């Protein structure tokens, strides 16, 4: 699978400005959340949304168009606002992303239900993608965790963490715990059970699940979620050796194309059309052996 190597200077410049923009938005969320949980509503796909989701999506869309005009912006809220079951109607829009040299994939708030309840596990996630011969692959990412005062980000092919309010940036390091956990989303339990020795946990926020794998706090997670749910965090984790594998075939996936998504499908728009395991390569075989189809 052809994934381009090296640092693209256009991405490098955008990463620098993007980190500061996401930090600013995350600080605003933290201030708002100090005043109490925000009101939520239910979208047509039965997921939770707040005004914070729409505000951040809109702000990052404007920012991307101003700072990185070659990129096609793909935000969860703005993409699904214009959703129609008429796939042909939106075929041009879908193809525009895959034809673009770059993409910016945004989940304004991953873990919106946690945010709406006042739980501190949620994040603002942005992934930067670049076109390759067989689709788009991740080239950079920024994930801010407002309630934890942390921002994780890539620069020049490495990943770092710093506080939202300043402080030094520290390169991320992998450090395996004596007994790391295995994380899952609720859809996992509809199709699989887990027979591993690791403790099974569900935190309701995929970006933190993936960052935990990169840091060594978790051995892996399984997901079939939307592009925006994993792009930012997986871009960071990939710089630390974490990979995504198709559960059906065990094949590593680095590039994704239109055939990998449920495009124009009600409640599944831009979701992966298969189940994927995210883990370090040395854990792949043992985890695949313990994920049991129901």
Does the structure show a pLDDT above 90 at 82?
no
Segment 242-267 shows an average pLDDT of: 91
Q: Which fold has domain 181-293?
A: D-Maltodextrin-Binding Protein; domain 2 (3.40.190)
CB atoms within 10 A of CB 163: 14
Token readout for 217 is 């706090």
Tell me which of 130 and 197 has the higher pLDDT.
130
Segment 220-230 shows an average pLDDT of: 93
pLDDT single digits (tens) 134-189:
899 999 999 999 999 999 999 989 999 999 998 899 999 999 876 789 999 888 88
Return the CATH architecture of domain 9-171.
2-Layer Sandwich (3.30)
Segment 4-23 shows an average pLDDT of: 85
Q: CB neighbours of 35 closer than 8 A, spacing ≥ 6?
A: none
Tell me, yes or no, if the pTM score tops 0.75.
yes
Token readout for 34 is 């100090």
Residue 136 · residue 98 · CB < 8 Å:
yes
Mean of the per-residue pLDDT values of the chain: 89
Distances (CA, A) of 3 to 100, 110, 123, 191, 242: 16, 27, 27, 31, 15
User: Which ranges in the chain are annotated with CATH 3.30.540.10?
Assistant: 9-171
Q: Is 209 exposed, middle or buried, given 0-12, 13-18 or 19+ CB atoms closer than 10 A? A: buried
User: Which ranges in the chain are annotated with CATH 3.40.190.80?
Assistant: 181-293
Q: What are phi and psi of 217, to 5 degrees?
A: -80, -15
Token readout for 258 is 């239109």
């Amino acid at each position: 699978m052809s994934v381009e190597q090296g640092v693209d200077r256009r991405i490098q410049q955008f990463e620098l400005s993007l980190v500061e923009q996401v930090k600013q938005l995350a600080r605003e969320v933290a201030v708002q959340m100090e005043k109490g949980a925000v009101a939520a509503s239910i979208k047509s796909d039965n997921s939770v949304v707040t005004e914070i989701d729409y505000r951040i999506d809109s702000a990052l869309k404007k920012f991307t168009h101003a700072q990185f005009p070659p990129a096609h912006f793909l935000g969860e809220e703005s993409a699904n606002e214009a959703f129609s079951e008429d796939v042909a109607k939106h075929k041009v829009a879908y193809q525009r992303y895959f034809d673009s040299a770059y993409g910016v994939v945004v989940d304004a708030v991953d873990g919106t239900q946690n945010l709406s309840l006042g739980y501190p596990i949620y994040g603002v996630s942005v992934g930067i993608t670049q076109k390759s011969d067989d689709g788009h692959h991740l080239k950079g990412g920024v994930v801010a965790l407002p309630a934890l005062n942390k921002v994780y980000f890539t620069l020049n092919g490495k990943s770092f963490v710093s506080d939202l309010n300043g402080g030094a940036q520290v390169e991320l390091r992998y450090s395996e715990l004596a007994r790391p956990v295995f994380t899952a989303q609720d859809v996992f339990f509809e199709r699989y059970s887990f027979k591993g020795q690791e403790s099974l946990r569900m935190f309701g926020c995929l970006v933190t699940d993936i960052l935990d794998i990169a840091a060594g706090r978790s051995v892996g997670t399984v997901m079939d979620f939307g592009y925006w749910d994993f792009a930012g965090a997986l871009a960071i984790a990939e710089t630390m050796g974490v990979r995504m594998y198709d559960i059906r075939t065990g094949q590593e996936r680095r590039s994704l194309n239109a055939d990998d998504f449920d495009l124009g499908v009600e409640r599944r728009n831009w979701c992966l059309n298969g189940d994927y395991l995210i883990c370090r390569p040395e854990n792949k075989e043992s985890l695949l052996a313990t994920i049991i189809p129901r």
